[in-house]
Structures are given as structure tokens and as C-alpha cells.
């Protein structure tokens, strides 16, 4: 076929995907001066990729089949916008040969291999026949045409248990079963076939020896339409859950330089067997000594950024240049390995509830600045909705450093500084994973997460530091809001004229026991006490939205988000969610919707923390009352406007006296 028909210069690129990968592709395309066209479903009208692109076309209803997977509608969107090329991202139509062909037939450049290459490599069985011929090492197994039970059973016996039954058309870890003995085989085949039929419309199976203590190693390759083919080193993706990657790194910490060269050479040989054009990945499973080919992915991979960070190559840019019909800009010996990179996939899921997906609106989306070797590839922002229709991956946090150790530290710090509210994410789980001593020591296999699950998902137990930090966070926040007013007595902490004052906080983690923290302050230094233990304490604002807490002369950074009675804390001990049990703070349901702020007990007004006319979030501090030598801050029981303050500092008020009026925010 005339290659100029397949690959030629274009100016407008349609991205047939959503989420972080659509955003990622738009970034590089725009950098190359291309006009970008997004496509979207009804659920994604306000999605980030739609906002980023120059133009966007509605494909159809939320269901992927009616939108992102609908070939006709995607091609029609290209026609309507004058797009000349299509980048498929990963997932969706990226490995669909029919789609690649439909693009070509409509005069569009498909950014990827030809339909024929996809067909040859797309099936796990078919590609193994090719690899066998090319002399690439395979896992011992059966990948023949015959599918009757007797043939499969005989093959499994010959291979020797345990075996892995796999859907030939499989992807994303689906249609796969480990079988430990002959007796389990028939049932496993039936259920794997059922899953494969539903997911891929194809239930052909292959059988492989289940490699013991398996590690996943893969090689990034890219070919141009002039016969040049390069490998860009390997990635190790051994940290998996249910055969799905969670953490990926480059280079593999398991291979020595000789093994590295061998696996990269095997990958080039594999890709050369089909004169591969475009970016692709050759996947291997390893027992720690040898590597065996398992499959090829004929697309850009989720984890491509780690390769980009250690080679300095922008893979999307190279994909587009190959699609222009250009030659690859470097030769094999110019591709250098520099440092170490590691990536964590941030999912909207709850590790404590068996990784159940979490859907809803993202209230807060905070990620650290992408500096000092940190990269964040995100597909979501503040206020975006996470829909149940698509993959739960929200973003990737990727770190680079000169050494593996430093890259892990950097990644963990990046994760610690990432804060998503409104939905549940796996971020705490990712932090626990990357800081696990076995992960640092690289003594892992693909079963590691499953074995360590209890440990990896256990919420950290808060200690003195966390309880003190919680009390300090409340006080710190109150002082901050009071500080906005001129002449506020809260500007200096020891503001009370005489005597020592105290204030009691009670916190609890989930359904755990309650912990009392007492704050005493007055003439001398302020003191926090928990039971018999006492800590002199101070706080000072820090630049990243958190504050520095000094306890008995030891300073550490605390990040705290206070939402009503829920406190999200990050201390050097990790992440903690605490509930603030406040007897006077609108804990009771009756108070919700009540627009009068009344004194719960007789007391003295000691501070006004908000001004008349101020817009208040639910839980925002309004004023502080001193009751029986203890202070209680009255908070907004709902979001609204502070209509009137009906008291002054120093007023002695009786129980039930109205102190302020709050007007609910209209919905």
C-alpha cells in the first residue's frame, strides 16, 4: 500500500478519547501547532478535555457504546470539524482494527499502526505464533485454534499446573483465571469464556504456564513508516491488583544491564516481525531470571510517562511525527537512560470497601506544582463529575529523580500533597504502597498487593501528634478567620487579659474511641494535653496552605481541611480523617436549617470571628463563647450569609439568647 495515503502531514487532530489521556494528547498536539478537536458524551459536556480542545463535538449518550466506542459517530465528528487525523489514546477504540480501517477509508490519518498490524498482534494467540517464528521466548503454553474442552484439558496437563487460562482477545486483566489443579480447570474455562464473551465478544482461550513469583516487564518501542524501529528501554509494572497495573517504573530495578539489552533486543525483534509502525509495547512476564513474551499492545500505554521522563522523549510528539510520515528523529544509540521514574495511578475507588468505584462531584482537586521532577497528568478539576460510565482513573502522579530511592520519596511527597475531596480515592493506599519496605527493597511479585492488602488499606492510627494537630488546626483556622478583621483580639494568641483559660476538644477516628485534648493558654506558653501528657505548642502559617506545628520544640508541617465536623489531616505520620465531636457546634440534626445562632449555655462572648454580610461555608466559625471557663466556637450549621450579629465582645448572654442570624444560601 502507498504509505503516503496512510501517513502524511495534517493540521487538525481529533482525539477519540476522554480523561487524562485526551488532555495529555492535546497538550503535545498543541505544542506542535496543531488544531485539536475533542469528542464527548452527554456525561462529559463539562469535562476537562472538552474545555482544553479548540473544538469539541458531542457524540451521543453517556454509555460508551453510544459515544466513545461508536465508530460511525467519531468519523462523522472528524468530517464535521475538518479533522484530518485521529489519535485514539488508550482503551476505547485504540486497538480496534475496524476503526483504524474506517479512518483510512474516510481519508483520515490514524495515529497508530495499520489495521493489518493490529490484527496480527491484537490477538494473544496470533501474536504468539508470530513471536515463535521470530524466535522470541514465549511462556510454555497452548495457543492453538482448537477450543474443545478435551484439547484444552490435555494442553493444561502437558504444561503442568498451575496454569493461566486467558482470553485471546483479552485486555485490562479480564477473562483470565489462575488454575491450580486439573479439577478446577473446566469451571475456570467456563467462567473465563463467559467474561471474555461479554467484554470482547470473543471467547477463544489460550493456556499458559503460570510463572511463579511473576514480575511484569515491558518494553516501549516505536517504529516509523521508513522501516526504522527503536526501543526506549523497559518499564517494570509488577505492582498489580487483579492483573491491573497500579504502580509502574522505569527502568526495571530487577534487570541488570545485560538482561536489559536482551529484553530490549527481543522486543525489537517482536515488533520487527510485523514491520511495526507507531508506538507500541511488548509485554513480558519474568520469573526474575528469564523473560517470556505475553502480548503486544499496539497503542500508547497508560504508563508511557515514566519512559518519557527517563529518556526525555515526548512519545505523543513522536507518534504524531510518525503519523506525518516523518522519520524517527533519533537513532538507537542516541536513546539514553537517565535516572529513574515512577508513576502511581489515582483512581476514584475505595480501597477500604474492596476498591469499590466512587462516583460523584469532585469538591476539591488539589495537586502539587509540577516542579522538581514531579509530573501530574490529570483529566479532572475542581467541580468535575466522576461518572459511573467510564474508567475510574482520574490522574497519574509521576516522579523522576536520579535514583530509584529518591524517585519513590518524590512520588510519595507528590501523593501526600494531592488532595481530592467529594469522592473517595486510592491515594492513601498508593502512599502506603510506595513506602512499603518490600517495595523499596524491590522484593515483590504481582501477588504482592493481594497478600499485603490488610496492611496496605488499614487506616493509620492517630497518635498524640495527630490529636494535637487536630486541636491546633481548629484554633489555627479560627485565628486565620479572625485575623481578617482589624484589631481582632485573636491576632495575638495570649489575648485574654487575666488568668489561664482552657478549651476542650474531643476527636474520634471513624467509629473508634473518643480522645479528649485540652488546650490551656494564658500568660505563659500555650499547652495541649492528652491525659497526663502535656505539650507546649505553637502554630505558624506555612506557604502551602498548611501550618507548622511546634510541639515541645519540634516543628512539623500539618495540612488540614476542616469541613464542618470532619477534619482531614496530613501530618508526618500520614493521612487521618477525624471527626470532631463538638457539643455546641451544630452536631444535632435539628440545628440544620435553623437560621438563628443561639447561645447553647449561659456565657460570655469572647470573640467575633465573622463579619456581617460575610458568605459562610457550612462549619465556618462565627463567634466564640466562653462557657464555664471553656471556650466553644459556634459555627454555621449550613452555608449562608451572616445577616446580623446580635452581640458584642464582652456581652454576657443567657442560654437560648440569639447571637446571630444566618440566611441559608439559595441552592
Q: Does 52 bind ligand ADP (CB under 6 A)?
A: no
What residues numbered 274-333 form the site for Mg ion, per CB under 5 A? 283
Task: Report the nearest approach of ligand ADP to the CB of residue 17 (Å).
Answer: 5
What contacts 565, CB < 8 A, 6 or more positions away?
579, 580, 581, 582, 585, 587, 619
Chain-centroid distance, C-alpha 87? 23
Instruction: Give the x-and-dash track for 287-316 against ligand ADP (CB under 6 A).
Output: -------xx-x---xx--------------
| Pairing label, strands 244-250, 340-347 | antiparallel
CA distances from 103 to 87, 100, 633 (A): 10, 5, 64
Q: How many residues bind ligand ADP (CB under 6 A)?
A: 36
Query: Cα-flanking dihedrals φ and ψ of residue 193, to 5°?
Result: -65, -40
Task: Report the nearest approach of ligand ADP to the CB of residue 483 (Å).
Answer: 43
Question: Strand ranges (DSSP E) for 489-532?
Answer: 501-508, 514-521, 527-530
SS3 string of 284-304? Answer: EEECCCCEEEEEEECCCCCCH
Task: Report the nearest approach of ligand ADP to the CB of residue 400 (Å).
Answer: 20
Task: Report the nearest approach of ligand ADP to the CB of residue 607 (Å).
Answer: 48
Cβ proximity to Mg ion: between 283 and 349 the closer is: 283
Dihedral angle computed from the Cα positions of residues 249, 131, 275 and 252, in that order, rounded to the nearest 10 degrees: 10
Q: How far is it, in rounded angstroms, from Cα 138 to Cα 624? A: 71
Quick check: helix, strand or coil at residue 465?
helix
Task: Report the nearest approach of Mg ion to the CB of residue 295 (Å).
Answer: 5
Selected from 88, 112, 122, 170, the binder of ligand ADP by CB under 6 A is: 170
Cβ proximity to ligand ADP: between 73 and 245 the closer is: 245
Query: Residue 490 binds what, of ligand ADP, Mg ion, none (CB under 5 to 8 Å, by partner type)?
Result: none
Task: Report the nearest approach of ligand ADP to the CB of residue 177 (Å).
Answer: 11
Query: Residue 35 binds what, of Mg ion, ligand ADP, none (CB under 5 to 8 Å, by partner type)?
Result: none
Cβ proximity to ligand ADP: between 237 and 411 the closer is: 237
Q: How far is it, in rounded angstroms, from Cα 465 to Cα 458? A: 19
Selected from 244, 387, 518, 529, the binder of ligand ADP by CB under 6 A is: 244
What contacts 288, CB < 8 A, 6 or more positions away?
213, 215, 254
Closest CA to 362 of 421, 418, 434, 318: 421
What residues numbered 371-430 form the site for ligand ADP, per CB under 6 A? 391, 393
Site stretch for ligand ADP (CB under 6 A), options 168-176, 197-205, 448-456, 648-656 = 168-176
What contacts 5, CB < 8 A, 6 or more positions away?
104
Dihedral angle computed from the Cα positions of residues 66, 69, 72 and 74, in that order, rounded to the nearest 10 degrees: 100
| Pairing label, strands 533-541, 109-110 | unpaired
Q: Does 171 bind ligand ADP (CB under 6 A)?
A: yes
What residues numbered 451-490 form the site for ligand ADP, per CB under 6 A? none
Q: Does 637 bind ligand ADP (CB under 6 A)?
A: no
Task: Report the nearest approach of ligand ADP to the CB of residue 209 (Å).
Answer: 6
The answer to whether 243 and 237 are in contact (CB under 8 A) is no
Which candidate in 73, 204, 299, 501 is catalytic?
299
520 is an active site residue: no
Site stretch for ligand ADP (CB under 6 A), options 210-218, 435-443, 499-507, 656-664 = 210-218
Q: Does 48 bind ligand ADP (CB under 6 A)?
A: no
Q: Does 91 bind ligand ADP (CB under 6 A)?
A: yes
Selected from 103, 108, 164, 569, the binder of ligand ADP by CB under 6 A is: 164
Q: Looking at residue 460, what DSSP letter applies?
A: P
Supply the residues annotated as catalytic: 299
Residues that bind ligand ADP (CB under 6 A): 17-21, 89-92, 139, 164, 166, 170-173, 208-211, 214, 216, 240, 243-245, 283, 285, 294-295, 297, 301-302, 391, 393, 446
Residues that bind Mg ion (CB under 5 A): 283
Amino acid at each position: 500500500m502507498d504509505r503516503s495515503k496512510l501517513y502524511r502531514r495534517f493540521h487538525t487532530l481529533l482525539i477519540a478519547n476522554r480523561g487524562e489521556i485526551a488532555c495529555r494528547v492535546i497538550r503535545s498536539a498543541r505544542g506542535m501547532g496543531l488544531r485539536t478537536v475533542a469528542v464527548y458524551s452527554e456525561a462529559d459536556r463539562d469535562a476537562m478535555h472538552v474545555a482544553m480542545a479548540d473544538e469539541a463535538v458531542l457524540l451521543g449518550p453517556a454509555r460508551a457504546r453510544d459515544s466513545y466506542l461508536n465508530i460511525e459517530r467519531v468519523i462523522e465528528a472528524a468530517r464535521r470539524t475538518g479533522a484530518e487525523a485521529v489519535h485514539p489514546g488508550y482503551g476505547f477504540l485504540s486497538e480496534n482494527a475496524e476503526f483504524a480501517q474506517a479512518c483510512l477509508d474516510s481519508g483520515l490519518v490514524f495515529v497508530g499502526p495499520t489495521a493489518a498490524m493490529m490484527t496480527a498482534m491484537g490477538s494473544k494467540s496470533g501474536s504468539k505464533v508470530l513471536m515463535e517464528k521470530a524466535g522470541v521466548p514465549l511462556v510454555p503454553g497452548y495457543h492453538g485454534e482448537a477450543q474443545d474442552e478435551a484439547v484444552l484439558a490435555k494442553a493444561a496437563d502437558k504444561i503442568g499446573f498451575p496454569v493461566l487460562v486467558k482470553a485471546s482477545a483479552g485486555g485490562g486483566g479480564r477473562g483470565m483465571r489462575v488454575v491450580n489443579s486439573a479439577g478446577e480447570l473446566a469451571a475456570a474455562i467456563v467462567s473465563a469464556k463467559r467474561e471474555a464473551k461479554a467484554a470482547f465478544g470473543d471467547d477463544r482461550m489460550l493456556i499458559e504456564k503460570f510463572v511463579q513469583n511473576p514480575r511484569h516487564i515491558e518494553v516501549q518501542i516505536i517504529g516509523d513508516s521508513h522501516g526504522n524501529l527503536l526501543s526506549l528501554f523497559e518499564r517494570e509494572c509488577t505492582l498489580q491488583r487483579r492483573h491491573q497495573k497500579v504502580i509502574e517504573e522505569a527502568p526495571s530495578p530487577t534487570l541488570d544491564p545485560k538482561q536489559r539489552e536482551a529484553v530490549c533486543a527481543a522486543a525489537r525483534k517482536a515488533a520487527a516481525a510485523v514491520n511495526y509502525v507507531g508506538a507500541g509495547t511488548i509485554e513480558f512476564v519474568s520469573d526474575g531470571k528469564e523473560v517470556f513474551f505475553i502480548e503486544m499492545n499496539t497503542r500508547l500505554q497508560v504508563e508511557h510517562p515514566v519512559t518519557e521522563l527517563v529518556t526525555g522523549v515526548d512519545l505523543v510528539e513522536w507518534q504524531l511525527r510518525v503519523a506525518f510520515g516523518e522519520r524517527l528523529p533519533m537513532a538507537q544509540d542516541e536513546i539514553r537512560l537517565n535516572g529513574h521514574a515512577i508513576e502511581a495511578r489515582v483512581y476514584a475507588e475505595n480501597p477500604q470497601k474492596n476498591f469499590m468505584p466512587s462516583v460523584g462531584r469532585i469538591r476539591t482537586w488539589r495537586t502539587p506544582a509540577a516542579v522538581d521532577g514531579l509530573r501530574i497528568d490529570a483529566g479532572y478539576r475542581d467541580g468535575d463529575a466522576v461518572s459511573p460510565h467510564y474508567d475510574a482513573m482520574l490522574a497519574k502522579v509521576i516522579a523522576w529523580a536520579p535514583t530509584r530511592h529518591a524517585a519513590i520519596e518524590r512520588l510519595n511527597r507528590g501523593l501526600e500533597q494531592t488532595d481530592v475531596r467529594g469522592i473517595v480515592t486510592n491515594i492513601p493506599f498508593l502512599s502506603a504502597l510506595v513506602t512499603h519496605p518490600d517495595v523499596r527493597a524491590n522484593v515483590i511479585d504481582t501477588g504482592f498487593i493481594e497478600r499485603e492488602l490488610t496492611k496496605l488499606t488499614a487506616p493509620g492510627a492517630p497518635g498524640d501528634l495527630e490529636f494535637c494537630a487536630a486541636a491546633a488546626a481548629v484554633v489555627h483556622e479560627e485565628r486565620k478567620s479572625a485575623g481578617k478583621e482589624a484589631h481582632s483580639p485573636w491576632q495575638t494568641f495570649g489575648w485574654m487579659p487575666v488568668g489561664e483559660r482552657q478549651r476542650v476538644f474531643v476527636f474520634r477516628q471513624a467509629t473508634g474511641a473518643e480522645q479528649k485534648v485540652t488546650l490551656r493558654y494564658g500568660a505563659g506558653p500555650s499547652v495541649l494535653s492528652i491525659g497526663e501528657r502535656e505539650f507546649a505548642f505553637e502554630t505558624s502559617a506555612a506557604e502551602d496552605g498548611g501550618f507548622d506545628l511546634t510541639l515541645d520544640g519540634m516543628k512539623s508541617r500539618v495540612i488540614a481541611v476542616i469541613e464542618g465536623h470532619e477534619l482531614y489531616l496530613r501530618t508526618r505520620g500520614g493521612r487521618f480523617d477525624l471527626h470532631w465531636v463538638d457539643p455546641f457546634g451544630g452536631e444535632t440534626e435539628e440545628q440544620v436549617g435553623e437560621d438563628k445562632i443561639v447561645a447553647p449555655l449561659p456565657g460570655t462572648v469572647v470573640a467575633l470571628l465573622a463579619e456581617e454580610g460575610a458568605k459562610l461555608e457550612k462549619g465556618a466559625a462565627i463567634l466564640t463563647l466562653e462557657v464555664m471557663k471553656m471556650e466553644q466556637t459556634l459555627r454555621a450549621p449550613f452555608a449562608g450569609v451572616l445577616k446580623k450579629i446580635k452581640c458584642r465582645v464582652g456581652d454576657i448572654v443567657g442560654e437560648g439568647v440569639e447571637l446571630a442570624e444566618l440566611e441559608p444560601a439559595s441552592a
